[in-house]
Amino acid sequence: MKAWRFHGTGRPLTLEEVETPRAGPGEVIVDVKAAGLCASDMGALHEPEWMASFPRLPMTLGHENAGVISEVGPGMDRWQVGDRVGLSPMIPDGDAIGYGTWDGGYGPKVRATEANLVRLPAELSFELGAVATDAGLTAYHAMVALGGAQGGMRVGVIGLGGLGYLGARIAVLKGAEVYAAETNPATRELAAEIGLAGVAESISEFADKNLPLIVDYAGFGTTTAQAVEALPESGTLVQVGLGRPESTVNTQAIIFKQLKILGSLSGTQQDLTELYELMGGGELEPPIHRITPARIPEGLELLRQGGVLGRLVACYDD
């Protein structure tokens, strides 16, 4: 089979013939139906600090995957050929599909373990199922599992890109009153679609709203600093975005206001199961732009240029 192979930062993806994977003990093979494109893959192509996540090269990127099980290995009796699944990317040993030693969905088949598999409800498309496995999963874990967003709560969201759109919408569906910061004027126009109570260029403009929770899905340094300033006493910042690897923040504000700052990475199988249930209501459908697998490198470049509203998803034909 052919897959898009990653050879290291500063080098383009190349379409190569690779060995078709087989299911070992405790594994299944999933025929990928949809693979989401993520900014972290774009980052790996252009930013050297990502190389620590790739001890084996070349490899196949792609950590947002949904598809159909086509082979079941020994010890996986709970699963059958033909089952529709989404793949929570994390492996129990800290590895992940699309990183480390596990090839991802920028190829037509992937290996997965029991820890990755979540049943994809029949009413959800493979495209939605794929977006949920990383963008949705990461957004949900930060907003609900760590942030504790719930009905009647005021919540701040920074960044309305792929993750932020989902995180804000999840908070709205949980019954929270959501205020968002977004620098792109076109993206700010999504406020009514998401159900926001307010949107502005900076979260600083909502400092008077007494937001006990702010989730930063952008992470461009200044956004983190602005969140610290905007939080009230005993407020919580959940940091998700990594637009810049460093930020300078007001430590006096952290101490005097007794703030809590949490880092959030990916999510759990349980998070993904709950997210699929939430998506089943039909009220959580982010903008999705479908492309062919042949256009994966082109799509990643579009992400780099900031020319995508919503999520890009590569769809494999039957």
Q: Tens digits of per-residue pLDDT, 201-233?
A: 999 999 999 999 999 999 999 999 999 999 999
- What are the b/e assignments for 197-218, b being 16+ CB within 10 Å? eebeebbeebeebebbbbbbbb
Confidence (pTM): 0.87
Residue 125 token pair:
């498309």
Confidence of residue 262 (pLDDT cuts 50, 70, 90): very high
Locus of tokens 């990653």: 6
- The string of DSSP letters for 17-28 reads E-PPP---TTEE
Q: With a cut of 70, say whether residue 72 has pLDDT above it.
A: yes
Round the average pLDDT of the chain to a whole number and report it.
94
Whole-angstrom CA distances from 259 to 17, 164, 252 are: 51, 22, 10
pLDDT digits (tens, 9 = 90+) for 136-185: 999 999 999 999 999 999 999 999 987 899 999 999 999 999 999 999 99
Query: What's residue 318's pLDDT?
Result: 60
Q: With a cut of 80, say whether residue 307 has pLDDT above it.
A: no
Q: With a cut of 80, say whether residue 310 has pLDDT above it.
A: no
- Provide mean pLDDT across the span 127-142: 94
> CA 60 to CA 1: how far, in whole Å?
12
Query: What's residue 279's pLDDT?
Result: 93
Query: What's residue 264's pLDDT?
Result: 96
Cis peptide before 58 (omega within 30 of 0): yes
> CA 276 to CA 263: how far, in whole Å?
23
Q: With a cut of 80, say whether residue 291 has pLDDT above it.
A: yes
> CA 287 to CA 165: how far, in whole Å?
9
The answer to whether 53 and 133 have CB atoms below 8 angstroms apart is: no
Confidence of residue 58 (pLDDT cuts 50, 70, 90): very high
Identify the three-state secondary structure at position 277. Answer: helix
- Provide mean pLDDT across the span 227-253: 94
